[in-house]
Amino acid sequence: MARMTMIEAVRSAMDVSMARDDDVVVFGEDVGYFGGVFRSTQGLQAKYGRTRCFDTPISESGIVGTAIGMAAYGLKPCVEIQFADYMYPAYDQLTQEAARIRYRSNGDFTCPIVVRMPTGGGIFGGQTHSQSPEALFTHVCGLKVIVPSNPYDAKGLLIAAIEDPDPVMFLEPKRLYNGPFDGHHERPVTPWSKHDLGEVPDGHYTIPIGKAEVRRTGSAVTVVAYGTMVHVALAAAEDAGIDAEVIDLRSLLPLDLDTIVKSVTKTGRCVVVHEATLTSGFGAEVAALVQEHCFYHLEAPVVRVAGWDTPYPHAQEWDYFPGPGRVGRALAEVMEA
């Protein structure tokens, strides 16, 4: 057991997987010699050699396209897109190819790849380094979509993703790389070393894909969140002194509907929080499912808190990023209804 940051946990997941299985290969821009711009692949090339961890040309469709071919061969590629903002050139390969190869070939070919990418804002990355594109992937049948919120989950989920027989999008909230975060920009990130979930086993373990986790139990309202927003939601519940139950989805596709339904059936109220823009965001899916499955238990309309429907601004990012204030107001709103 060791104290790890989320970057270290992600690296450890790849390390453990590469050590266990010669078919796991890791590549992407700056991933090899340098170890990645966030250093999540640091040391892997030195340890496993240049043919198992290497740098690629700056061609996202090339990265994902070659990964698909390697997977068809029988390898298990775990590739990095340097920032989620740059996955669009690979979108065709992901949505039309990776996601469909099993289906269209009736299992003749499969595509066990993992595509990792740093997502989200809060680090002054402006509109080109802050995007949260998860809803673009959850709309694609055949992909799996994971967003971890802490080092322990990140490692267990990433190993599960690498071992998964299908293509998995692994979205890493970069705001959480070094520690949890309560949404107040004047307060620094708390290092993971001071947090229970920064305690990470050194060896192999997995967390099942498709299972949510209740991070805080409560009976007044259910807050559904994932990634960075789990921490913001926890801070908001604390600040507002509301008996909120906070669910960390961890996996958006497949989604753990049972945990959501069970909680909302109990609380009768639901707030969905995400950092991505509001319109057609993943919160809409959660709200619709809650409405379909918990209608007769609801005491208030489901409320969504999200990024604004604008590109991510540089100077005003703290007004863009949902913080405990905005979540707190939403909690108050559903409690009043």
Partner 1 sequence: MVDSARLSLHVPEPAVRPGGQPDFSNVKIAKAGAVPRPEVDVASEDIRELAYSIIRVLNRDGEAVGPWAGSLSDDELLIGLRNMMKLRAFDARMLMAQRQGKTSFYMQHLGEEAVSCAFRKALVKGDMNFPTYRQAGLLISDDYPMVEMMNQIYSNESDPLRGRQLPIMYSSKEHGFFTISGNLATQYVQAVGWAMASAIKNDSRIAAAWIGDGSTAESDFHSALVFASTYKAPVILNIVNNQWAISTFQGIARGGSGTFAARGLGFGIPALRVDGNDYLAVHAVARWAAERARRNLGPTLIEYVTYRVGAHSTSDDPSAYRPKTESEAWPLGDPVLRLMKHLIVKGAWSEERHVQAEAEIADEVIEAQRQAEAHGTLHAGGRPSVRDIFEGVYAEMPPHIRRQRQKAGY
> Binding residues for partner 1, per CB under 8 A?
25, 51-52, 56-57, 59, 61-62, 65-75, 77, 89, 92-93, 96-97, 100-110, 141-142, 144, 164-166, 210, 253-255, 257-258
| Rounded least distance, CB 103 to partner 1, Å | 5
Measured from the CB atom, the residue of 195 and 293 that comes closer to partner 1 is: 293
Q: Are 145 and 137 in contact (CB under 8 A)?
A: yes
Shortest distance (Å) from residue 145 CB to partner 1: 12
Instruction: Count CA atoms closer than 13 A to 57's CA, side-chain side.
Output: 5
- Is 150 within 8 Å of 192 (Cβ atoms)? yes
129 is catalytic: yes
Residue 73 has which token pair? Answer: 């061969």
Do 239 and 270 form a contact (C-beta atoms < 8 A)?
no
Nearer Cβ to partner 1 (68/225)? 68
Rounded to a whole number of angstroms, the minimum distance from the CB of residue 104 to partner 1 is 5
CB 62, min distance to partner 1, A: 4
**Catalytic residue from among 129, 231, 297, 314:** 129
**CB distance 284 to 139 below 8 Å:** no
Determine contact, residues 312/320, Cβ cutoff 8 Å: yes
Which pair of tokens denotes residue 97?
Answer: 């190819």
Contact 170, 133 (CB under 8 A): no
- Nearer CB in complex with partner 1: 107/241: 107
Select from 236, 326, 316, 220 the least CA-distant residue to 278. Answer: 326
Rounded to the nearest whole angstrom, what is the least distance from the CB of residue 117 to partner 1 in the complex?
18
Task: State how far the alpha carbon of 289 is from the alpha carbons of 229, 257, 260, 292, in Å.
Answer: 20, 8, 9, 5
* Shortest distance (Å) from residue 192 CB to partner 1: 31
67/176 with CB nearer partner 1: 67
Pairing of strands 24-28, 244-248: unpaired
- Residue 3 tokens, joined: 């104290």
Q: Which C-beta is closer to partner 1: that of 176 or that of 260?
A: 260
Q: Which is nearer to partner 1, 5 or 138 (CB)?
A: 138
Measured in whole angstroms, the distance separating CA 233 from the mean position of its chain's CA atoms is 16
Q: Which amino acid is at 134?
A: E
Q: Which residues are catalytic?
A: 129
